[in-house]
Amino acid sequence: MSTIDLQTLQKRLIELQRINERFAIPNCLEFLAGRSGIPVVEIKNELAEATISLEGGQVMTFRPHDQEHVLWLSSFAPLKKEKSIRGGIPVCWPWFGAHAFDKQKPAHGFARNMLWTVKETKIRDDGATKITLELSDNEDTWSLWPHTFQLQLQIIIGSQLQLELSTYNIEDKNFIVSEALHSYFRISDVNQVKIHGLEYCTYLDKVDNFTNKIQKGTLTINDEVDRIYLGTTADCVIEDYGLKRNIRIAKQKSQSTVVWNPGMEKASELGDLGHRGFRKMVCVETANVAENAITVEPSDRHSLKVVISVEPLSWV
């Protein structure tokens, strides 16, 4: 490790101590050193447990007590900060997928690669734990996206997992954002789950050159799937007989749902999914993308919210 790296790590460990002194909650919430010394929040309360990286404001794990883990996280995630963490719930903002004009800019925007700051931690009356993170414009963001903004992420860890992503426009002209809470869900087998809630929705099929199609019946997955469902506000439910549960994804202020699984061939090219990891995960993303991108007016805000809960299969 170089001297510069040692100095950076030392600074991050000092910052970690400072954050704990200000925001830790005894026997509930603690900040630990993650990859490259970047803080990771560890939450354990009477309802659930979770981990959140301040790198990207990314929820990595969530497990209600007496339940299996709800989110999928690759055990092959790289240790280098330059590479995004595969799994959990990355924040895609202010664009989704490749940048429209400059393919050299990071895919899915910059929010998932930057260090967020902690604004508040608290225990709610219902026993859930709330943490609020924030990202604001700076020299690094201006080189990628020339707007003045404040981005806030409220995360509630309880019997349900709740995320609310709020975009504040603090300049004198409007701007357009595409956004997604890119949720990776842990499942028994991708070929044996059903996804409800998208029946008869129009979608763009990326695998088929973004051809416009209509979902016929319940969605099942047998190969690579990469779809943007448009104009849909409905809950989605992942029915998983193998794990004997439903995962419900309820959303607000979202007009798009993205469903993704790379399939065997594409997964082998990605490198960080692990051996047959693609079979144990599916992404059902709460989003506003493509023609559902959001215009945020000056001095206004837009808030995207998702509530993720686990339900037993009613017929098991």
What does the DSSP 8-state code read for residue 106? P
Residue-wise pLDDT tens digits, 251-261 = 999 999 999 99
pLDDT at residue 270 in the model:
81
pLDDT band with cut points at 50, 70 and 90 for residue 1: very low
Residue-wise pLDDT tens digits, 212-233 = 999 999 999 999 999 999 999 9
pLDDT band with cut points at 50, 70 and 90 for residue 11: confident
pLDDT at residue 78 in the model:
54
Is residue 131 within 8 A of residue 120, CB to CB? The reply is yes
pLDDT band with cut points at 50, 70 and 90 for residue 13: confident
State the CB neighbour count (10 A cutoff) for residue 2: 7
Residue-wise pLDDT tens digits, 264-278 = 989 888 877 766 889
Q: Is the pLDDT of residue 204 over 70?
A: yes
* 209-245 burial code (b ≥16 CB/10 A, e <16): eeeeeebeeebebeebbbbbbbebebebbbbbeebeb
Q: Is the pLDDT of residue 196 over 70?
A: yes
pLDDT band with cut points at 50, 70 and 90 for residue 105: very high
Q: Is the pLDDT of residue 314 over 80?
A: no
For β-strands 225-230 and 211-214, DSSP reports them as: unpaired
Q: What is the pTM of this model?
A: 0.95
In the chain, % of residues over pLDDT 90: 82
Mean pLDDT of 65-74: 94
Q: Is the pLDDT of residue 80 over 60?
A: no
pLDDT at residue 5 in the model:
72
For the annotated catalytic residues, the residue numbers are 182, 285
pLDDT at residue 2 in the model:
39
Owner of token pair 């419900």? 248
Domains of the chain listed by start with CATH number: 3-312 (2.70.98.10)
pLDDT band with cut points at 50, 70 and 90 for residue 153: very high
Exposed/middle/buried for 17, CB within 10 Å: 0-12, 13-18, 19+?
exposed
